[in-house]
A and B are shown apart, each in its own frame.
Chain A
Amino acid sequence: MSELLVKNAFVIDPLNNINGEIMDIAVKDGKIVESVKDTSNTIDAKGNLTLPGGVDSHTHICGTKVNFGRYMSPEDMRAGRGRAQKYMYPVSGYSVPTVYANTYRYSSLGYTTVLEGAMAPLEARHTHEEFSYNTLQDTMANTLFDGNWAVMEAVAENDLKKVAAIVGWTLAAVKGFAVKITNPGGTEMWGWGKDVGCMHTKVDHFGVTAAEITDYLIRANELLNLPHSAHLHNNNLGKPGNYKCTLERMQRTPDLNDKRQTLYMTHVQFHSYGGSKWADFCSKADDVAWMINRKPQIAIDMGQVMFGKTTTMTADGPMEFNLYRLYNNKWSNHDVELETGSGIIPVLYSKKNLVNSIMWSIGLELALMTKNPWQCMLATDNPNGAPFVKYPEVIALLMSSKYRDEEFSTLQKDTEKRVILPSLDREMDWNEIAIMTRAAQAKALGIVDLGKGHLGVGADADIAIYPVKTGDIDPTQEYEKVIEGLSVTTHTIKRGRTVSKDGNCLVFGDNATIWVKPKISENYDISKDPEFIKRFERYYTVNMANYPVEEEYINRNICIETETEL
């Protein structure tokens, strides 16, 4: 069928230990092969930086709360208008753009695989409907279990296999990819306008703690042999002093998997705060990074904050309400029966604001102090810390202490008393950036075997070519060139096809949704459990028969069937 040859590519492919070699990449039928016979379809990379397609392991792009963010924010829509082109529909939006805007902009940045960070099972169809328009990246969805009644009841019964059975059935039913835990216990308590704090308060009625919910879900995840680990948004997000909660969670996580981390902790910037109130708020990134450096079972993403306007959105309903009481602008909340919650508010991160300036510093400190880049993904928790279009700036900051110093000098001036960023002189190289933006993310998600995150023979031909000659620029000094060069690819290749060239899309695209289906024996099929069915029919407002997401919603898809211990 189709063949393609990418010539003269300056390749960095960390999973295959290639760190800057001029190579040709041969592609046949969407996969990378040793060589091709037909060289009529050739791209000359001209020695430019060529990386595996970018992988975002935590972003909010599709689904109920993302769409509500758009719905309530016409002002954000006006901030990002674009006209139609031959293969592009008109777009709107800056921090919560339309689906088309997201997919075009990600493609232009060289990203080919993205994980939606939070999908409520009951609303999964919505996420999948939007995925079908996110045509230029393969998609997958973290599935929320933080306030799942059946899970909490099984935890209370100390029945790990039952937890796994519930999770396994639900993931397959809603075509989810991974187990997401957002403020465990807290989202259920928010149904009463309360929260759990960290992490040993018992959830009303259910009698289990956040610590127990997460402990069980981590182990259930491994029993189900899922590609990704449990994916945690820890309790107490955004509160001064929450670093203790983060450390305790890391401390009590066992090392259960030799291929990847056992727990992925997301947007850890928001969880590395010292102090006891806003007045003595400070960075504790050094303590948190110290722990990560001793815990190979932990992987994190930065959750970097960048200055400017954005929209925060999370399943963590109580956190959004607290944030709203600081900002007092506008607030949406959407609790989901028997499962989880969510909240949305627009925010402005300002350099004149001490807390915001400290937050900006913390994200960078975490990345710079985590010794092993495979444990720290580059992400902004799009759009919570900043829209993903800011990634090139985050990269430039990590590569240049000069850039950091220049930015730092413009921050609220007390910042230097609360952070240690100015004392960090680490400057990352291109290989480390490639790890943090694709290789480590693919490894953490467990999709390397599917051919993601690398350019070895047999991998998906997802390739990003940037107009950057790494030998010609010094990223420690010429950070503006880094930002410019990483903002728009010359070619983004998806499954062997050039989908985006110099920022213009060349095809409508055709993405695949990756989901999991754990193989569970009849004995553990929770959907046949009379008690489970009875409670489902009685307390959900949707019948069990209408709950699973039909095949029609995922036309093109990759189902990962896992062998389980159930």
Chain B
Amino acid sequence: MKITDVICPFCGCLCDDLTVTIENNRVTGVDNGCALAEAKFMHTGRLNNPIIKDGDRFRETGYDDAIGAAADILKDSERPLLFGWSGTQGEAQCSGVHLCELLGGVIDNTSSICHGPSILAIQEVGHPGCTLGQVKNRADLIIYWGCNPVEGHPRHMSRYTNYADGFFLENAFRERKLIVADVRKTESANLADEFIQIKPGGDYAVFSALRAIIRGKGDILPDYVAGVAKSQLERVAKMCLEAKFGAIFFGLGLTMTKNKYKNIRNAIELTDLLCRHTKFTITPMRGHWNVYGSNEVMTWLTGYPYGVDFSRGIAFYNPGETTAIDILAKKECDAMFVVASDPAAHMPKKCAEHMAEIPVIQIDPHINCTTLLSDVQLPVAVTGIETPGTAYRMDGIPLRTKKVIETVYPNDTEIIDKIYKKVLEVQKK
């Protein structure tokens, strides 16, 4: 059986044109998807049953038992941290916010270790953006800055930018110019008309230099800015000004490098400046398929996109204080609830060390590094493959991911709602 128009739950591109072949309730083929999509749909290894730590070993158990154990850990916790959320359905994110509020805990999503700085910059200066189709149909200049779509978002260029058809372009591939800015020559840089190689940590200075040139103040610039020749910057500025529609995409090469959110602020202010001459937009290359959804959900429910502390009965937000890394590194939290992410693999050692010392509950279909630090893990259906659910693309378009195969696993929302009820019961007693 073939199922068409399947939405890929891997990266922030949320490609929705996959055709998936199913035989005996297993995915045996993925058409149109990239290698990452294929790996996700075809992956079979997973945890079969909930597990609970018993001494230095795990033992398998039933869902009721594991839910009870999870609720016990949470109710005994004074400062629980609920982290992850970027790899699950929006419905589960909503349930997670409500659970956190009930517990008076802290809820944070993986933005705080990826595009959190982008959000801080947006909160200072705003965000001139658009949907990806706007770029596809109009843009004659594409800029990828601090990101490598060829490897990180493999279909971004073919669906939305250089290799996509565009309504207003006769021959989109030839008419679109590509600029790539990065510290090293990536696969994406190999395709560029103009590759700006910046010394690590020099992005802020390069943005400032471009802004100076565009404002007619190029005279004050030295011959090289962060390793980039002034002549190249002048060329790039000219390309931007001559474009009818320019689109900047940026990744963690900007958000997680020196100057962090100030880089993004400068990039946005460059976009803003270019909007006074022509049309320009800027879009963060969101990584996980529903990380933007976690920002959306937390924003409409709590008012803030990540890092929300409910311990005072109101929603309190102060990134750097109420974000997961800080809370773990300062050994503040006394229990952790991890949904659809693998913090043990991605956070600093200090954080993992604290995770090893406190009870950790993990809701995830797969065994990962965090499993090893968990006290309870509940395997769940994979959203977008075994259970449907809402996801927000990197540009804010909401889509409903599909269920393509049957499963015996409950989904994240069902598990979290059961834990919520259990905690409520215990609290009432």
Contact = CB atoms under 8 A, between A and B. Distances in A.
Contacts of A543: 5, 16-17
Given A90-B315, A331-B272, A546-B5, A541 B132 contact: yes
B397 interface: yes
B315 A81 contact: yes
Interface string A388-419: 00000000000000000000000000000000
B134 interface: yes
B298 to A, nearest CB: 9
Question: Is the interface on chain B under 10, 10 to 19, 20 to 34, or 35 or more residues?
Answer: 35 or more
Contacts of B167: 538-539
A308 interface: no
Interface in A77-131: 77, 81-84, 89-93, 97-100, 122-123, 125-126, 129-130
B128 A191 contact: no
A77 B133 contact: no
Given A70-B299, A546-B5, A333 B129 contact: yes
B127 A333 contact: yes
Contact of B310 (A90, A126, A344, A545): A90
Q: Which of A100, A205, A335 has the most CB of B within 10 A?
A: A335
B118 to A, nearest CB: 11
A90 B314 CA distance: 5
A193 interface: yes
B220 to A, nearest CB: 23
B128 A84 contact: no
What's the interface size class on A, roughly? 35 or more
Contact of A74 (B123, B131, B276): B123
Contacts of A100: 301
Contacts of B94: 133
Nearest to A334: B129
A99 B119 CA distance: 20
Interface string A525-547: 00000000000001111110110
Contact of A125 (B279, B315, B390): B390
Contact of B124 (A125, A330, A333, A545): A330
Contacts of B133: 337-338, 539-542
B354 interface: no
A344 B123 CA distance: 12
Interface in B210-248: 244-245
Contacts of B159: 541
Contacts of B279: 191-193
B305 A71 contact: yes
A73 interface: yes
Interface string A168-211: 00000000000000000000000111000000000001000000
Contacts, number: 173
A330 B390 CA distance: 30
A193 B130 CA distance: 12
B94 to A, nearest CB: 8
B304 interface: yes
Nearest to B13: A541
A64 interface: yes
Contacts of A192: 138, 244-245, 279
A235 B400 CA distance: 34
A472 interface: no
B29 interface: no
Dominant secondary structure of chain B at its interface with chain A: mixed
A335 B134 contact: yes
A67 interface: yes
A83 B314 contact: yes
Contacts of B310: 90
A345 interface: yes
B396 A330 contact: no
Given A70-B300, A92-B304, A332-B129, A541 B160 contact: yes
Contacts of A559: none
B400 A546 contact: yes
A122 B279 CA distance: 22
A70 B131 contact: no
A524 interface: no
Nearest to B279: A193
B273 to A, nearest CB: 12
Nearest to B400: A550
A72 interface: yes
Interface string B128-152: 1111111011100000000000000
A68 interface: yes
A123 B124 CA distance: 25
A67 B397 contact: no
6 cross-chain pairs, A with B, having the tightest CB-CB distances, nearest first: A337-B133, A92-B303, A77-B303, A193-B279, A330-B126, A125-B398
21 contacts: A64-B396, A67-B296, A67-B299, A70-B299, A71-B123, A77-B303, A84-B101, A99-B301, A129-B390, A191-B138, A193-B279, A334-B127, A334-B396, A338-B137, A539-B167, A540-B133, A541-B136, A541-B159, A541-B160, A546-B16, A552-B388
Interface of B: 4-5, 7, 16-17, 90, 94, 98, 101, 119, 122-134, 136-138, 159-160, 165, 167-168, 244-245, 272, 275-276, 278-279, 281, 295-296, 299-305, 310, 313-315, 317, 388, 390, 392, 396-400
Given A90-B101, A336-B130, A545-B4, 7 more contacts: A99-B300, A129-B390, A133-B94, A321-B275, A333-B130, A334-B127, A338-B133
